[in-house]
Amino acid sequence: MSAGSAGPAPGPGPGPEPGPLCPEHGQALTWFCCSDRRPVCAACTEPGGRCRGHRIRPAGERAEELRNKIVDQCERLQLQSAGITKYMAEVLPGKNQRAVSMASAARELVIQRLGLVRTLCETEEQRLLERVHGEEERAHQSILTQRVHWTEALQKLDTIRTSLVDMLTHTDDLQLIQKEQEIFERTEEAEGILDPQESKKLNFNETCAWSPLLTQLWATAALGSLSGTEDVRIDERTVSPFLQLSDDGRTLTFNAKKSKACADGPERFDHWPNALAATSFQSGLHAWMVNVQNSGAYKVGVALGQLPRKGSGSDSRLGHNACSWVFSRYDQEFCFSHDGQHEPLGLLRCPAQLGVLLDLQAQELLFYDPASGTVLHTHHASFPGPLFPVFAVADQTISIVH
């Protein structure tokens, strides 16, 4: 070698540290035995090896498959965490606000009604307000419990996700394969955390403000003070040709023979013996009384203005559609009807007069027998629009009392 010639070429730098070797053959574990579920060397896969006839695949391919599973699981965990975070940020505060709002409305309802009969109901007022407060506290506590539960769930999901990400980024192929059971356990733990579900326990139960005593006394006072003040008259344009309307617009008389004198129009009921009042109510407290003692077949209640007027179908028959809520009598049977659902009412006597009380603030419709002071039926509903007093008579006469 001449003096000017270069020295020997530098050798290769230090390579990656060798991984575990096959204890049987001393070779690198570059394959994965799908039958034994463990990494093996090339010699193990040969005809004389212990994995002869087994399904064999490259170890790197198996590691890549596990990596993909971790990535998928991390994405699912991230979506689940986002859903829970949104639930805590949007749903739970809304539930809390709604519980507070409904509790406030319930207080106002209780105080308003007891104001009419306060001398008789001071003890009842205190009892009901305590129930409302207790229900508000219960709803609030349920919401707080949910918040704590889902905060812990988020922390657990975050811990699991951090662990999986750490495996993904700091573990080589063989270590990852060896941690497969741990990956499975972590994934199974995460799948055990269910998504939030709607629960009635998170809602304020407004029935805590209901009381039979309060309803009875309030109905008596309200009907006594309001009945007769509402100038309820029947709209002649709606009167069925099977009915005759008095000159003062308050009495309906049934005629089995259809009248030919009635001019047909879009407002008139042409088949069922129905009639609507001329005035509708969309807010406040309203009461009216109907004399029903001469009729053995009638319906009294409220209906939406869009109640169909034509034809013999259920859509224009009171109580058989979603547009009407009525108390009805047929012979000796009484019931409350709405949307084709008929609730029998076991009355001991036939009322001579029927009081109707409509409280649109509380979304409540009440039927009352003023002679006996008995609440015949109470119905709570979310009425979707202005309501008209509605009447039907198929026997004799009914009259609005003024």
pLDDT confidence of residue 7: 40
Under 8 Å CB-to-CB from 396, ≥6 apart: which residues?
A: 253, 254, 294, 295, 296
Do 218 and 171 have their domain in common? Answer: no
Do 198 and 251 have their domain in common? Answer: no
Do 183 and 326 have their domain in common? Answer: no
Do 340 and 257 have their domain in common? Answer: yes
pLDDT confidence of residue 13: 46
| 21-75 per-position pLDDT tens digit | 999 899 999 999 999 999 999 999 898 888 988 999 999 999 999 999 999 999 9
| 90-149 per-position pLDDT tens digit | 999 999 999 999 999 998 888 887 676 567 778 888 888 999 999 999 999 999 999 999
* Domain stop point among 174, 202, 230: 202
In a domain, residue 222? The reply is: yes
89: tokens are 């940020």
Do 175 and 244 have their domain in common? Answer: no
* Domain stop point among 143, 176, 202: 202
pLDDT confidence of residue 118: 67
In a domain, residue 394? The reply is: yes
Under 8 Å CB-to-CB from 333, ≥6 apart: which residues?
A: 344
Domain interval for residue 229 = 212-401
Do 321 and 262 have their domain in common? Answer: yes
Q: Which residues are 244's β-sheet partners? A: 253
Check: CB of residue 336 under 8 Å from CB of residue 345: yes
In a domain, residue 273? The reply is: yes
Do 259 and 342 have their domain in common? Answer: yes
Q: What is the mean pLDDT of residues 368-376?
A: 89
* Domain stop point among 202, 230, 245: 202
pLDDT confidence of residue 9: 45
| 320-329 per-position pLDDT tens digit | 999 999 999 9
In a domain, residue 96? The reply is: no
- Average pLDDT across the chain, whole number: 88
In a domain, residue 13? The reply is: no
Task: Assign residue 243 the CATH number of its domain.
Answer: 2.60.120.920
Check: CB of residue 66 under 8 Å from CB of residue 174: no
Do 285 and 366 have their domain in common? Answer: yes
Under 8 Å CB-to-CB from 334, ≥6 apart: which residues?
A: 327, 328, 344, 345, 346, 347, 376
Sign of torsion over alpha carbons 106, 111, 112, 113: positive
Buried b (16+ CB within 10 A) or exposed e, 92-114: beebbeebeebbebbbebbeebb
Element (H, E) at 99: helix 92-116
Q: What is the mean pLDDT of residues 211-225?
A: 80
Counting residues of the chain whose pLDDT is more than 70, the rounded percentage is 93
Do 294 and 191 have their domain in common? Answer: no
Q: Is 132 helix (H, G, I), strand (E, B) or coil?
A: helix
Domain count across the chain:
2
How far is residue 149 from each of residues 83, 137, 139, 156, 208, measured CA to CA in Å?
A: 14, 18, 15, 11, 27
In a domain, residue 79? The reply is: no
pTM comes to: 0.59
Under 8 Å CB-to-CB from 228, ≥6 apart: which residues?
A: 289, 401, 402
Do 242 and 269 have their domain in common? Answer: yes
Do 365 and 258 have their domain in common? Answer: yes
| DSSP tag of 281 | B
Q: How far apart are CA 395 and CA 344, in angstroms?
A: 20
Check: CB of residue 63 under 8 Å from CB of residue 177: yes
In a domain, residue 74? The reply is: no
Q: How far apart are CA 87 and CA 153, in angstroms?
A: 13
Do 157 and 279 have their domain in common? Answer: no
Cα 263 to chain centroid distance, Å, stands at: 46
pLDDT confidence of residue 6: 39
Q: How far apart are CA 402 and CA 393, in angstroms?
A: 19
Angle 356-362-368 from CA coordinates, rounded to 5°: 20
Q: Which amino acid is at 171?
A: T
In a domain, residue 140? The reply is: yes
